[in-house]
Structure 1
Amino acid sequence: MKTTEKDTKSKTATKSTGEKKTDTDKKSTAGKVKAKSSAADGLRELFLDSLKDIYWAEKALTKALPKMQKNATNENLIAAIEDHLDVTNTQVDRLEQVFKIIGEKAVAKKCDAMDGLIKEGASIMEETEIGAIRDAGIIAASQKIEHYEIATYGTLVAFAKTLGEDEAAELLSVTLAEEKEADVTLTEAAYNTINFDAAEEGEEE
């Protein structure tokens, strides 16, 4: 059978379309992360990665909290920060125990979220005059940090239980309870008084 010019053009068009489809398929898969073959392996890696993040975060807090305490004036706030610092040092040690329990080396991985929260707190202190207004700013920054920690430890406890790491889950639960208690302390023992004082300072200006 003689091939006509029309048939040749049709075949060429089909080939071209097929090539374009292949290119599109390649683009659609570009940048995608390859899934783990085992869901358990994937969850364990996520758990470990989150542990490394919060380990870095807690160690960074041991350096940031003394600066907040130095800039605070309200006695309740100063005491709350001091308590938080003592608890944070204990939590760092506890995280190292968790690493040991799950058979992993304690390694810190920079936590961008905590880094941002600490920088925000530093910025607030730089932009406010020492006194009730700055104290209120320190409280606000501290509570953001607490809420991040509560969310993180809550997730870590859930992951540990799912992975059957019951001993690790128990230790992480202790820290979670401490973070919740610290949040309540900041709210009840300092925040109401500081906000009241800050409001009075604003009226005087």
Structure 2
Amino acid sequence: MSAPEDLNDIYVDEMKDLWSANDQMLKVLKKITTKASDAKLKEMLATSHEGITKHTAVLKELIAGQDEKVSKEHCKGMEGLVAEATKHVLEEGPKKGPLLDVLIIAQYQRMTHYGIAGFGTAAAYAEALGLKDDAKKLNDATKEIYGGDEFMTKLAETSVNLQAEDA
């Protein structure tokens, strides 16, 4: 990213960063999903694949709407989160079972919180720029991401963490 000249530049850069973040998260989630043993967790992870793909399409549409080159900028923040997820779930974690499911939820939520912050920030920029339609789409995505995070918290608290405690 070159030095931004105005809020619109920052807005577009935020969306390009989020596109990269989504791509990185999706790639690692596809690997992680196969490791989950809890049926509801596995189903939520698969649903998340669809949501991430949908949100990436929204980002591409909104970037194009700004008469910008539809491209992404590598997101170093998500790179770090993906490295942590890879380490804890795919490399050093238990091979299967409730303990691995606990780790999967934790890593998923870390990556998801990045998305909540990013999409929420982009929505705030769109609102400040008077881009009401963009803001609505980004706020809708933020709510969907937050809903997935809330589901994971509930799943952890009512099922997965309890199973891990008995493991």
Structure 2 counterparts to residues 1-205 of structure 1, below 5 A: 41-125=5-89, 126-129=91-94, 130-201=96-167
After TM superposition, give the deviation of residue 189 of structure 1 in Å: 2.9
Deviation (angstroms), 1:190: 4.3
> Structure 1: which 4+ aligned runs deviate by more than 2 Å?
189-192
Deviation, 1:42, is 2.2
> One-letter code of the match for 2:79?
D
When normalised by structure 1's length, the TM-score is 0.75
Provide structure 1 residue ranges, at least 5 long, that are not aligned to the other structure.
Answer: 1-34
- For the Cα contact (< 8 Å) 1:139–1:191, is it kept in 2? no
Q: Which amino acid aligns with 1:94?
A: V
CA RMSD, Structure 1 to Structure 2 (Å): 1.5
User: Do the aligned partners of 2:93 and 2:100 also contact (CA within 8 Å) in 1?
Assistant: yes
Question: What letter corresponds to residue 183 of structure 1 in structure 2?
Answer: D
**Could you tell me the percent identity over the aligned residues?**
28
**Per-residue CA shift, 1:61-82, capped at 9, x if unaligned?**
2211111101111111101100
| 8 A contact 1:76–1:190 mirrored in 2 | no
**In 1: Cα distance, 2:68 partner to 2:160 partner:** 43
- Are the aligned partners of 1:101 and 1:167 in contact in 2 as well (CA < 8 Å)? no
1:178: Cα distance to partner? 0.7
TM-score, reference length from structure 2? 0.92
- Mapped to 2, the partners of 1:49 and 1:100 lie a distance apart of 12
- State the distance in 2 between where 1:158 and 1:43 align: 11
Contact 1:136 1:191 in 2 (8 A): no
Question: Which has the bigger relative contact order, CA under 8 A and spacing at least 6?
Answer: 2
Residues of 1 paired with 2:63 and 2:118: CA distance?
16
Aligned residues: 163
Amino acid at match of 2:92: E
